[in-house]
Amino acid sequence: MKEESIYSELSSIRSLMERSSKFISLSGLSGVLAGVYALAGAFYAQRLFQQHEVGGHIPHGYVVHSGIVLQLVLIALAVLFLSISTCVILSLRQSRKKGEASWHPASQRLLTSIALPLITGGIFIILLLLRAEYWLIIPACLIFYGLALVSGSHYTFSDVRWLGVLEILLGLLCAWIPGSGLLFWIIGFGLLHILYGFIMHFKYKQ
């Protein structure tokens, strides 16, 4: 009995330390929904490509007409907005269920760690848009997003690191195979997010 009591106390101390140093209220369901949003965005993007008789990407030098690039940017922004909003709402709900504060040093460190890669990536993507280097935009999205996940994984579940590594590898492979951007968007932001979300949901019962 004494050994069980000691083990229980050690587990409680470990859990308390983890809660104070890491943000553990990330919702697995938000990952699943983010993947669904990305797949929906890819579907609408593919319809645009078909309407303008373009393949699954906009090649370098493509003459932009009918605002196709603007429409694609709006689709990407809509996916981003829905994904972030869903993550915030479900994570806040998860925090309330656990009786934890949602804004504390761990969550602040998490946001700080992912901010630099995301902001840098956003600026780089804007430069690619201005220079009409459209074929590099999706690889850049995957790579910088992956870097943000790897950086943020120090302050949340370690599983996030592996998702980030896979996103980076997909981004590099996408840059190596021009014309495959939409496919890698579906895999990286769609299928991987859904798989990751289900794993998180069942592993941590979220």
Query: Dihedrals φ, ψ of 121, to 5°?
Result: -65, -40
Residue 111's pLDDT band, with cuts at 50, 70 and 90, is confident
- Evaluate whether 98 touches 144 at the Cβ level (below 8 Å): no
**pLDDT tens sequence across 177-195:** 988 889 999 999 999 999 9
**pLDDT tens sequence across 9-57:** 444 434 444 444 454 556 778 889 999 999 999 999 888 877 766 554 4
**Distance of alpha carbon 24 from alpha carbon 163, whole angstroms:** 16
Among 102, 91, 73, which residue's Cα sits nearest to residue 34? 91
DSSP string covering 109-162: HHHHHHHHHHHHHHHHHHHHHHTT-GGGHHHHHHHHHHHHHHHHGGGS-THHHH
186 by Cβ neighbours in 10 Å (0-12 / 13-18 / 19+) ranks as buried
Query: Dihedrals φ, ψ of 166, to 5°?
Result: -65, -40
Percentage of the chain lying above the pLDDT 70 cut: 73
Amino acid 179: pLDDT: 81
Lowest mean pLDDT among 54-68, 149-163, 167-181: 54-68
Amino acid 20: pLDDT: 46
Hey, where are the domains in the chain?
Answer: 26-96+111-204
More confident residue, 32 or 67: 32
- Rg of the chain over Cα atoms, rounded to whole angstroms, equals 20
